[in-house]
Structure 1
Amino acid sequence: MSDAVTAWAESHLGECLVLVDGRMAGSGFFVAPGMILTCAHVAGPTASQVRVQWQGVPHLGTVLDASPPPTGAATLWPWPDLAVIRVDGLTGHPCVWLTTRMPGLGNPCVGAGYTSTLAPALKPAVGLLHLTGRHDFPPGVLLKISHEEVTPGMSGGPVLDPATGGVWGVVKAKRDHGGGFVAPLIGLRHLAPAVHRALWRAHDLHHRRADHHRRPAFDADRSGTYVVPAEERDLRGILAGLPEIPAEQHRADYERSAGPLAKPPSAPHHDYGDVAADLMGLVAPPAGEPPQVLAYAADLARRHGELPELRDWLLYRAGRLGVSPVIRNRLTETSSTAPVSVMVRLRPAGNNHLRYHVTMWRYVDADHVVPVVDDLDAVPWPEARQRVQDSLVEQIRQLTAHERDIMVEFILPQELLNEPVHSWALWRSRRWETLGSKYAVVVRDLERLEDAESMAFLKRRWRMTARQFLRSGLVSVHCDDRRSHEAMWAWIGGHPLLSAVALPGPPDDAPSRVALEVALPEGVPALAWCGMRCEKCSGDACPVRLFQSALAGSLAETRHDALPQRVLELRRAAAADNHWGRDLVLLWDDPTRRPPRQQMLPPGEAEVA
């Protein structure tokens, strides 16, 4: 840390520091015009009045929001122990720049606060601190700092990283053996969303307009890679002017931009700046690929074409990082209209087809597949079914932000293909709604999806038939069909444009089983059947033949790639007319829609009998 940075940090923090007299006396600091950040145990409860003193002049403030107090016998204020105070009419003061980038362990920091050490009353003090460790404090984490002079009056004071010039945390409490704890700023996202947005937007707009020529050169701003703090400050200032959108949309944007590196956020996304901060916290991408935050900025620039400053910011940074071609391609992408989906896979535990591993993903496109459930422990089918049912509604809700059709794709071993997943009633307040009458529900064969040869046949047939109408691609296998596997193979193989087969019943019945066992490795993309079984009747009165005839008529003008949505319409119609569509099962495989490559199974599992 240079002498210039040290001198600036001491002066800057001293100018932004305020004395807070609320529930107790402590410290606070200006983060936006008229807005002060401090600890909740200093300020007191939400809506309470507090006195603040800046440069010797007293002012009256209001607590906009504060973390709730401890309950029971607990004395330490719960995480994150933060509060925001508004002082009306107070302007002309400096504000710290906030950052969620935290320094590494052992790095020096600069802290400020009020202390009574060597003085009869609280006086401002600035000192050098060192980050020495982490302390789990559920549901968050605190950072340990070393400094002999951390006193109770310093609670609520800022901690600044001299490498970035940004304040990353708030002093929370002293430790018994010297030093103290710091609450990182990620905790702000656990305050009321409206207060969080108001604070960060006011902060970001202020620092976009602020004159930073008095700031020294920081080490992080000299970096030749990724997005440096000065660029982050400019970006957040632009994002602070965008219209508010639902939290679900922010999460969807984060997942799309993060791609395979997406992970469950440690705190909610209330605004654009939260998404940008989390993306900048991810591992840097391989050489030649843009940082995730640039991908996010490109998506926003495409969505908000009326903001040339966002596009200008993006293209300049893309040029500096050598990723202009990739970013320009992303800027010109057209929005996909393909359905998004929840993918559910039930995989048997080795040879034990009585126990299953549950894995679930949210699928948006081939580059945006988010794992949401991955159970390493195999459980019996009833438990696996309950696990899926307990998770589905929330995962579907997360997909609504994409404003596209939603599918549910069940990837199942053959013994589960006839499970009535489409008839699950998951909405307790609306028991009349079933999964398959509300969303397009399809089943897919697990073995085919994981067999390279079968997938090659599927891809070839899909390319030829995906956009053809089913009047020429759908055939039926009747309940009196007695063809052998060899004869069925010759028949299907001789019809390369065959894209769908109507089975005479569930796939465990003899004619259906033969057709399914041949059609899947031959690459037939779709098979459909009804829950009814053959009753050994004959002629036109056979209910299976009536079903197959009605199905062919209903699907004649449907393209193969639109088949799931058409089956959804038939299931909805069946809810009113009680016809065969109620029990219709669709096996439909689009080879371009695939979950990520599976991790290895636990050792020894393949030998389970």
Structure 2
Amino acid sequence: MTARLEQLASRATVRIGPYDAPGELWGSGFLVAPGWVLTCAHVLPLGQDVESIGELRVQGHQLDAPARLAYRLGGGTDPDQDLALVRLPDAPPPHACVRLTDHYDPPHRVTALGWRTPKGGRPQSWSGHSECNGRDGPYGLTLAPHMEIPHGASGGPLLDRDRGVVAGIVKARRANKDGGLAVAVTALRGFRAARPVGDEDTLGPDPYAALIRAHDLWHRRAVGGTSWVRTQSDTGRGGERAWGPRDSAEASALLAALPRPDSPAVLQRTIALVLGYEPLWEDELAPLDWRDGQGWVHDEPDGADIIALHYLLAVAHLCRDRSPDAVAELEHWIKTRVQALPDYLGALLRSRTEDTDALDAGCGADDDQGPVVAVELEPDPYRPGDRFHWRVWSWPDGPETARVLEEDEADEGVPLTELPQALDEPLGRAFRQFDAEGRLTRLELALPVEHFGTHVHTWPLGARREVVLRCLKRRGEPAAAWRDRWGGLAVSDLKPLPVQPDYAQEALATAPPGAVPVLCRPPRQSEGPLAETIGAGYGVALWSLKNEHARACGTDCGELYGTAARLLDSAARATAVPERLRLLREKNDETDWTHHIALLYDDPRRPIPLRDDVLDSP
């Protein structure tokens, strides 16, 4: 298999140079989809003006064609930035394409391919055998000193000789040493943020998904001598039940016809449900498209075919309403594949998919089971003022999925006024992971009651998304009163409960199950009633952020209570209140009361876990 696949890889490996100098070699590349060449960005003389590079020349097996730089990642030489896509003409001549791995773990035995120019000679093809002996960051693959990578070979494919797929892109040789460095194929996921060059934005809003789907569809159609999958299958490893190259290629092509996942979080939740545990993927390697999910079945010691088919059924369920025809084709293929299994294994698959109906691609606000990101703000105990240590939590799915994403490493904490800037990048990374099409992830801030006057919903990171407050003291197992009050909201109509400072305790203790406390004074005038609201177990409450008054209530208080009543009436259920408030803020200008009230939304089904350590400062 290796020799034959090396021949196919060689046919798909091209050399790149200036169009008007066919004998000049800048570097190598390889064809990954019809009309698309992947290479390292550093082999191209980009300079400061990327647009000025002009027309390129791509040459290889029965190929000599003009080309243009279409996309590049960043501009650095780090592995995750050193990639570029070159586009051949709209109707390129027939050519071979390599098959890209869907594995996550690095390869072992590898063959590097590319082009080189002997001194005084014309470019000629080159290959060398080595081993991958380590990783350098999330995408860098180090190559053992079994070969010397020549100048010109950068950008060529790195073939995994054990699995028969391309696992990386040859990057560089090591200075004064044999061996070198390659870029893992998983770095292609960065092309979601690739920058088109000029007017070459032909892959649309998600270049990674468009490219990898074109790649998978090509390999399903390829026949005869250019069929990579056929060569893999002829001498593939594994027994009768193995999830082989043909299975993987067919499934990948069927997945390519489906709409993209609503968000990476939806995909990751599906994988975790199928596997029965949550994989410990690094952020940079987290799956983005349906094909990426297939890669996890390879690491399962037993029953890879059962797990793969279960995964495909789960994806079909998620996409059925949006793409019924493509899902029908996928389900027909799954049915055919299941019929080849022994009866007891078919029954096992059916038992494992009984909970598939629990999946929901939208994870809408009606049942409040979608992803949530929370920021825990702990006051620094050693310094006066409003300095905080922060920790970002996420709940990708239900209550049992809480995990820490990032946390503050500053010894002295961060001033409250600087928190929007300090949290911008970590929250941006979290939101990119969990935001779905048509639904932005809710932001929850857990902080002390004395800071409930913070205008969190006006921070840039809160724009256009639900923003709610939580009480920092409610970490860990919920108290009975908290659970009882929350349960009452689920079975009763929501009604505003005006809370006056002098009568707060009595009003809170005797209120009906659907009561939602509304405080007409800002927190610095009603810190006591707010604390009593928390102590009485209320999980939803509203208060004014601007209406300071020392004496009797006035017309502003009446307007606030009216706004609260309309909000609660429109929400109908407690789980819909955050979204209703967001919509009203979006609909009304900044003079409206909805922009000057804060919302406590503290769900006891998803408490912030107790710390297993204590934030400390020297």
Determine if the TM-score, normalized by the shorter chain, exceeds 0.5.
Answer: yes
Structure 1 match to 2:598: 585
SS at match of 1:152: coil
Structure 2 match to 1:164: 163
CA contact (8 A) 1:17 1:112 kept: yes
Q: CA–CA distance in 2 between the matches of 1:496 and 1:443?
A: 23
CA contact (8 A) 1:356 1:381 kept: yes
User: What letter corresponds to residue 601 of structure 1 in structure 2?
Assistant: D
Structure 2 match to 1:414: 449
Root mean square deviation of aligned Cα: 4.8
The structure with the largest alpha-carbon Rg is: 1
Structure 1 match to 2:50: none
Does 2:338 match 1:311?
no
Structure 2 match to 1:466: 490
**Alpha-carbon distance change, 352 to 32 in structure 1, aligned in 2, over 3 angstroms:** same
Q: CA–CA distance in 2 between the matches of 1:347 and 1:549?
A: 32
Q: CA–CA distance in 2 between the matches of 1:524 and 1:116?
A: 75
**Alpha-carbon distance change, 395 to 120 in structure 1, aligned in 2, over 3 angstroms:** closer
**Residue correspondence of structure 1 range 77-96 to structure 2 within 5 A:** 79-84=81-86, 86=88, 91=93, 93-96=95-98
**Residue correspondence of structure 1 range 424-503 to structure 2 within 5 A:** 424=458, 426=460, 439-448=465-474, 450-454=475-479, 456-471=480-495, 474-481=496-503, 488=506, 492-495=508-511, 497=513, 499-503=515-519
Structure 1 match to 2:547: 532
User: What letter corresponds to residue 62 of structure 1 in structure 2?
Assistant: A
Q: CA–CA distance in 2 between the matches of 1:518 and 1:64?
A: 64
233-242 or 259-268, larger mean C-alpha shift: 259-268
Q: CA–CA distance in 2 between the matches of 1:166 and 1:349?
A: 52
CA contact (8 A) 2:2 2:164 kept: no
Q: CA–CA distance in 2 between the matches of 1:336 and 1:77?
A: 35
SS at match of 1:13: helix
Quote how far apart the aligned CAs of 1:208 are. Answer: 1.2
Q: CA–CA distance in 1 between the matches of 2:68 and 2:564?
A: 67
SS at match of 1:266: helix
User: What letter corresponds to residue 520 of structure 1 in structure 2?
Assistant: I
Does 2:180 match 1:180?
yes
Please point out which of 4, 8, 23 is paired with 1:8: 4
SS at match of 1:401: coil
User: What letter corresponds to residue 600 of structure 1 in structure 2?
Assistant: D
CA contact (8 A) 2:265 2:396 kept: no
CA contact (8 A) 1:158 1:167 kept: yes
Q: CA–CA distance in 1 between the matches of 2:80 and 2:511?
A: 68
Quote how far apart the aligned CAs of 1:458 are. Answer: 1.8
- Deviation digits for residues 415-447 of structure 1 (CA, Å, limit 9, x no counterpart): 21222324x2639xxxxxxx69x5544322121
Structure 1 match to 2:100: 98
User: What letter corresponds to residue 481 of structure 2 in structure 1?
Assistant: F
Quote how far apart the aligned CAs of 1:593 are. Answer: 4.4
Unaligned runs of at least 5 residues, structure 2: 19-23, 47-52, 224-228, 273-277
Does 2:217 match 1:205?
yes
Quote how far apart the aligned CAs of 1:8 are. Answer: 2.8
Structure 2 match to 1:61: 66
Quote how far apart the aligned CAs of 1:343 are. Answer: 2.7
Structure 1 match to 2:113: 112
**Alpha-carbon distance change, 271 to 545 in structure 1, aligned in 2, over 3 angstroms:** closer
CA contact (8 A) 1:111 1:159 kept: yes
Q: CA–CA distance in 1 between the matches of 2:542 and 2:580?
A: 12
Please point out which of 391, 394, 405 is paired with 1:359: 391
Q: CA–CA distance in 1 between the matches of 2:126 and 2:537?
A: 74
SS at match of 1:601: coil
Q: CA–CA distance in 2 between the matches of 1:568 and 1:118?
A: 67
Does 2:602 match 1:601?
no
Quote how far apart the aligned CAs of 1:161 are. Answer: 1.0
**Alpha-carbon distance change, 337 to 112 in structure 1, aligned in 2, over 3 angstroms:** closer
SS at match of 1:457: helix
401-410 or 260-269, larger mean C-alpha shift: 260-269
Please point out which of 521, 533, 541 is paired with 2:535: 521
Structure 2 match to 1:239: 255
Quote how far apart the aligned CAs of 1:150 are. Answer: 3.2
**Residue correspondence of structure 1 range 280-291 to structure 2 within 5 A:** 280=296
Structure 1 match to 2:145: 146
Unaligned runs of at least 5 residues, structure 1: 428-434
Quote how far apart the aligned CAs of 1:602 are. Answer: 4.7
TM-score in terms of structure 1 length: 0.74
Identity over the aligned pairs, expressed in percent?
24
Structure 1 match to 2:275: none
Please point out which of 408, 413, 427 is paired with 1:375: 408
Quote how far apart the aligned CAs of 1:522 are. Answer: 3.0
CA contact (8 A) 2:509 2:536 kept: yes
CA contact (8 A) 1:408 1:442 kept: yes
SS at match of 1:208: helix
Quote how far apart the aligned CAs of 1:165 are. Answer: 0.7
Give the count of matched residue pairs.
Answer: 562
Q: CA–CA distance in 1 between the matches of 2:381 and 2:115?
A: 64
Q: CA–CA distance in 2 between the matches of 1:348 and 1:218?
A: 63
User: What letter corresponds to residue 111 of structure 1 in structure 2?
Assistant: A
158-167 or 279-288, larger mean C-alpha shift: 279-288
CA contact (8 A) 1:135 1:144 kept: no
Q: CA–CA distance in 2 between the matches of 1:77 and 1:442?
A: 39
CA contact (8 A) 1:32 1:206 kept: yes
SS at match of 1:528: strand
188-197 or 523-532, larger mean C-alpha shift: 188-197
Quote how far apart the aligned CAs of 1:168 are. Answer: 1.4
**Alpha-carbon distance change, 53 to 467 in structure 1, aligned in 2, over 3 angstroms:** same
